Structure 1
Amino acid sequence: MSFLQQARATVREDLDAAMLRDPAAETRADVALNSPGLHAIWSYRLAHRLWDRGPQWRPAARLLSTLTRAVTGVEIHPGARIGRRFFIDHGMGVVIGATAVVGDDVMLYHGVTLGGRSLARGTKRHPTLGDRVTVGTGARILGDIEIGDDVQIGANSVVVKPVPAGAVATGIPAVVRFPDHPAQDPYDALFAEPAIFI
């Protein structure tokens, strides 16, 4: 598959993810033109390709990420690793650090930080999120910790310890618990677990 074909397929996947997760999305064209979260993701994907090309391309990658932050309000370091069908709803204030790893089908709301807790250079300092993770508005996930698959992080929560797959984490500091119905759809779990919105 050529670079252009791969880019088109990725854009289609990202649009599909946005249409699936954003109830306000009316058309793919509307989302493509008006979603700062998508614009930030697409710019990140290009910046990440530049970053991976080697040290001589990294200043250009950083410049692109800085320009993207100025336009969208979303700061994604080009060194971060982000999976497929990633979606940021609203976008403003999202920060994703250099060594963060984000799985497939992850959704972040505005104001989320995937940040570090160490100033040590050359080490993994940011969190790793599994697949199908949803992170609520204003949540902070800090440090080199693992967030398992299918985890729900509540709005404004501060997570500094690992969260096992399928769990719900809410509060400051976050308290981890498991839904009453393990097979419950993650979106329905938001309504069954009101603290996720807090």
Structure 2
Amino acid sequence: MFEVIRKDLSRLDPEGSASPRTLVAGLLSQGFQAILVYRFFHWLQQKGWSGQPLRFFCERFIEITGGISIPASCRIGEGFRIHHFGGIIFHPTVQIGHNCTLYQGVTIGDRGGTGGAAKIGDNVLIGAGAKIIGAIEIGDNCVVGANAVVTRSMPAGTTALGAPCRLKHPDGRIE
């Protein structure tokens, strides 16, 4: 758990270090606070401990103060970064790869109570206000543009634009 947190922390520093200065900045960041709470209770869950009722109060505190809801059952890879806090909601079945970044107002959910949520690859950037809906797959090195509404899978290296989204492939082709 601590190695993963160190990698999350190193994403806050442009030089990629987890220095004491970066630790202080991280502890003051609502996004990093939410990641810490998630990492701790996810680790407990993996060990077979629910962490209740403490988990309930910690998760609600983060939701109220930072506007971020990340259930402990999500699976999030190392190097995760929440660039700006507020309005971030994850479905409990969300899977996110390594070194992903997201901005404020991101929702990753199911289709209104049916099915699961997205599986997101490595090195994905999710822009402000983006919505990723349904049990779809977002490939590695994708960019989900600000306010895009993604309801279908994205091949690796593509960019999602608009609502409903259009996919821009690396070769410049748009569909």
> Under TM normalisation by the shorter chain, which class is it?
0.7 to 0.9
Identical counterparts, % of pairs = 35
Q: Residues 130 and 146 of structure 2 are in contact (CA less than 8 Å); yes or no, is this contact kept in structure 1?
A: yes
What's the counterpart of residue 47 of structure 1?
Answer: 41
What's the counterpart of residue 126 of structure 2?
Answer: 135
Measured after TM superposition, the shift of residue 47 of structure 1 is 1.7
Q: Residues 51 and 58 of structure 1 are in contact (CA less than 8 Å); yes or no, is this contact kept in structure 2?
A: no
Residues 1:149 and 2:106 are matched in the alignment: no
What's the counterpart of residue 79 of structure 2?
Answer: 85
Residues in 2 aligned to 1:84 and 1:73: alpha-carbon distance in whole angstroms: 22
Which is worse superposed, 129-138 or 52-61? Answer: 52-61
Write out aligned runs for 1:107-186 (5 A): 107-120=101-114, 125-180=116-171
Query: What SS class does the counterpart of residue 169 from structure 1 fall into?
Result: strand
Residues in 2 aligned to 1:132 and 1:153: alpha-carbon distance in whole angstroms: 11
Residues in 2 aligned to 1:13 and 1:29: alpha-carbon distance in whole angstroms: 11
Measured after TM superposition, the shift of residue 145 of structure 1 is 0.3
Instruction: Please list every run of 5 or more consecutive structure 1 residues that lacks an aligned counterpart in the other structure.
Output: 1-5, 182-198
Query: What SS class does the counterpart of residue 141 from structure 1 fall into?
Result: strand
Q: Residues 5 and 78 of structure 2 are in contact (CA less than 8 Å); yes or no, is this contact kept in structure 1?
A: no
Letter in 2 for 1:20: P
Q: State TM-score, norm by structure 1.
A: 0.77
RMSD, aligned α-carbons: 2.2
Q: Residues 32 and 38 of structure 1 are in contact (CA less than 8 Å); yes or no, is this contact kept in structure 2?
A: yes
CA distance 1:166–1:56, shift in 2 (3 Å): closer
Residues in 1 aligned to 2:53 and 2:111: alpha-carbon distance in whole angstroms: 24
Which structure dedicates a bigger proportion of its chain to helix?
Answer: 1
Counterpart of 1:19 (choices 13, 25, 29) is 13
Residues in 1 aligned to 2:29 and 2:120: alpha-carbon distance in whole angstroms: 23
Residues in 1 aligned to 2:89 and 2:141: alpha-carbon distance in whole angstroms: 21
Residues 1:94 and 2:88 are matched in the alignment: yes
Q: Residues 111 and 139 of structure 1 are in contact (CA less than 8 Å); yes or no, is this contact kept in structure 2?
A: yes
Letter in 2 for 1:168: T
Residues in 1 aligned to 2:76 and 2:66: alpha-carbon distance in whole angstroms: 18
CA distance 1:38–1:161, shift in 2 (3 Å): same
Count of residues in Structure 1 that have an aligned counterpart in Structure 2: 168
Show CA shifts across 1:66-122 (max 9, x none).
Answer: 2221222111011111000000011111111100000000000011011111424xx
Residues in 1 aligned to 2:137 and 2:166: alpha-carbon distance in whole angstroms: 15
What's the counterpart of residue 185 of structure 1?
Answer: none
CA distance 1:49–1:43, shift in 2 (3 Å): same
Counterpart of 1:105 (choices 99, 102, 115) is 99
Which is worse superposed, 160-169 or 72-81? Answer: 72-81
Q: Residues 92 and 111 of structure 1 are in contact (CA less than 8 Å); yes or no, is this contact kept in structure 2?
A: yes
